[in-house]
């Protein structure tokens, strides 16, 4: 999840809200690729989650990365809650999921090199520590009570609120992991087309990357339980954004939606002030109960933008948010898939033609079908396997046109589409076969 944002000074005009998003517009030559992935740390002797403090802990790993590899600490109070170096960040999800937010790079080849360097540094620091990291969409066995709680004020507030507005919010916070990519847009029209393609094809990403068929130590009836969790979290701030397909969609329409999403907090002087359920519109009028008489800054607005969680999210770039975390190959395949679809004009146009006639009901149906059945899912006659095959072909063509040889990174997705099986299917085959109903082997099998 996001760290406090630096959006700017006082908001003096409502036009500034959309202008912040518009300021993300970049010429094509300046487009970059930013990949983020989360992973679960675990102790090899007990198979318990990695704690925040202690000799074998997140704090110890942070200290090692800082001392040996030049990472700079990010503090909240006296606690180190992240690291930063050369445009990249390492941060913590609420349950200790260890997240790399990579630096903006030009090619997927650089994404792969950055990932390998990160995994090598973490391996060097944890050597002899009895710690490994799992790449999987949901913790297969750990209960909520077993999860460590990170010392971040934002998460304390969110935990309370999630328990009141949905059925699965704390599961998302503490026991899921994702991989996502952040991509640029050239203009408002380009943003709209990319957002629409991203939303319509997000169920395909959910299906292709599904890796969470286990939860609470048993089968959960879904191939992506992580995706199921997002459907039971908070309808006011999640979902497929049907309005994004309406005529007149643009930066202002997105702003209007975000303004109606209840707030979580206001960040002041290094502390998170409880504004749970309050209105940013009231804040603009100086009527926020949490800060009576005070008006927001653009930094407050930038923070609020990080508290909405649709399947594709707009900030000063677009975040593709529908995929479970997976193995190394899948961590690279996710940015490759979306870069191929959206960074080549012909591929983007073709992707829009592929999905433009899929209606809102079918898009939502595909979202549900992807979480339950992955590539075997369908809705209103649209089969995810067929959609995945077509989208993957376009992504391959788009990457080839870029001329960097990036299409090789789509290999695990090509294998999945040909076989009709994704990571979750392979976990299930092992569970019912060689593992004989035990989940103990999945820790090593899913670890980097």
Mean pLDDT of 35-54: 98
Is the pLDDT at 363 greater than 90, yes or no? yes
**Residue 294: inside a domain:** no
Domain that holds residue 257: 15-261+308-445
Would you state the pLDDT for residue 153? 79
Is residue 8's pLDDT more than 80? no
State the pLDDT at residue 130. 98
Kindly tell me if the per-residue pLDDT of 383 is higher than 80.
yes
Question: What is the pTM (predicted TM-score) of this model?
Answer: 0.96
Token pair recorded at residue 122: 């973490």
Does residue 6 belong to any structural domain of this protein?
A: no
Looking at the domain assignment, is residue 284 inside a domain? no
**CATH code for position 175:** 3.30.590.20
Cα separation of 319 and 234, whole Å?
A: 19
| pLDDT at site 3 | 54
Token output for 67: 């001392």
Q: What is the pLDDT of residues 161-213, one digit of tens each?
A: 777 776 787 888 899 999 999 999 999 999 999 999 999 999 999 999 999 99
Please name every residue paired with 84 in a beta bridge, in sequence order, or none if there are none. 72, 89
pLDDT at 166: 65
- pLDDT, position 159: 75
pLDDT value at residue 4: 61
Domain contains 266 = no
Tell me the torsion sign for CA atoms 228, 234, 238, 243.
Answer: positive
Residue 7 confidence class, pLDDT cut points 50, 70, 90: low
The distance from CA 14 to its chain's CA centroid, rounded to whole angstroms, is 29
Determine what percent of the chain is predicted with pLDDT higher than 70. Answer: 98
- Each residue's pLDDT tens digit, 290-303: 999 999 999 999 99
Average pLDDT over every residue of 115-143:
98
CB 280 within 8 A of CB 287: no
Rounded to an integer, the average pLDDT of 61-80 is 96
pLDDT at 16: 97
Q: How far is CA 393 from CA 51, 204, 350, 357, in A?
A: 42, 13, 11, 19
What per-residue confidence (pLDDT) applies to 297? 97
Please tell me the predicted confidence (pLDDT) of residue 231. 93
Among 81-90, 150-159, 350-359, 367-376, the minimum mean pLDDT is found in: 150-159
Is the residue at 174 inside a domain? yes
What pLDDT does 165 receive?
73
Token pair, residue 39, equals 């992973």
| Domain presence at residue 281 | no
pLDDT tens for residues 402-425? 999 999 999 999 999 999 999 999
Other CB atoms within 10 A of residue 419 CB = 11
Over residues 430-441, the pLDDT tens digits come to 999 999 999 999
Residue 30 lies in a domain: yes
Q: How many whole angstroms from its chain centre is CA 400?
A: 26
Q: Which residues pair with 72 in a beta bridge?
A: 84
Residue 76 inside a domain? The answer is yes
Structural domain count, the chain: 1
- Residue 5 has a pLDDT of 62
Q: For the chain, give the mean pLDDT.
A: 96
- CA–CA gap between residue 407 and residue 395 (Å, rounded): 8
Residue 137 has a CB neighbour count (10 Å cut-off) of 33
> For 305-331, what is the mean pLDDT?
98
């Amino acid at each position: 999840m996001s760290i406090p944002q630096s959006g700017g000074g006082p908001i003096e005009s409502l036009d500034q809200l959309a202008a912040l998003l518009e300021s993300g517009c970049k010429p094509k030559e300046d487009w970059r690729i930013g990949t983020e992935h989360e992973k679960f740390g675990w102790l090899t002797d007990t198979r318990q989650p990695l704690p925040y403090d202690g000799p074998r802990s997140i704090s110890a790993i942070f200290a090692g990365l800082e001392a040996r590899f030049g990472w700079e600490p990010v503090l909240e109070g006296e606690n180190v809650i992240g690291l930063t170096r050369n445009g990249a960040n390492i941060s913590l999800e609420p349950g200790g999921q260890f997240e790399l937010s990579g630096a903006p790079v030009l090619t997927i080849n650089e994404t792969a090199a950055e990932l390998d360097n990160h995994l090598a540094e973490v391996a060097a620091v944890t050597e002899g520590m009895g710690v490994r990291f799992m790449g999987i969409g949901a913790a297969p066995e750990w209960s909520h009570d077993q999860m460590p709680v990170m010392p971040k004020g934002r998460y304390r507030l969110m935990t309370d609120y999630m328990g009141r507005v949905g059925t699965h919010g704390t599961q998302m916070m503490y026991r899921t992991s994702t991989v996502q990519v952040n991509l640029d847009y050239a203009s408002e029209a380009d943003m709209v087309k990319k957002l629409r393609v991203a939303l319509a094809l997000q169920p395909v990403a959910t299906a292709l990357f599904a890796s969470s068929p286990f939860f609470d130590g048993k089968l959960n009836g879904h191939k992506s339980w992580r995706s199921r969790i997002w459907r039971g979290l908070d309808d006011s701030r999640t979902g497929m954004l049907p309005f994004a397909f309406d005529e007149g969609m643009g930066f202002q329409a997105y702003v209007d939606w975000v303004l109606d999403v209840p707030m979580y907090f206001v960040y002041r002087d290094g502390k998170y002030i409880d504004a749970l359920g309050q209105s940013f519109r009231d804040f603009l009028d100086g009527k926020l109960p949490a800060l009576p008489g005070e008006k927001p800054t653009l930094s407050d607005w930038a923070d609020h933008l990080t508290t909405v969680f649709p399947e594709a999210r707009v900030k000063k770039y677009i975040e593709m948010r529908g995929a479970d975390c997976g193995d190394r190959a899948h961590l690279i395949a996710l940015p490759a898939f979306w870069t191929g679809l959206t960074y080549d004009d012909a591929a983007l146009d073709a992707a829009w033609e592929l999905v433009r006639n899929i209606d809102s009901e079918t898009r939502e149906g595909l979202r549900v079908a992807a979480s339950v059945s992955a590539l075997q899912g369908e809705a209103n006659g649209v089969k995810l396997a067929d959609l995945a095959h077509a989208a993957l072909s376009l992504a391959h063509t788009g990457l080839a046109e870029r001329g960097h040889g990036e299409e090789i990174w789509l290999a695990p997705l090509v294998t999945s589409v040909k076989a009709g099986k994704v990571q979750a299917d392979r976990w299930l085959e092992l569970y019912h076969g060689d593992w004989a109903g035990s989940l103990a082997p999945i820790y090593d099998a899913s670890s980097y």
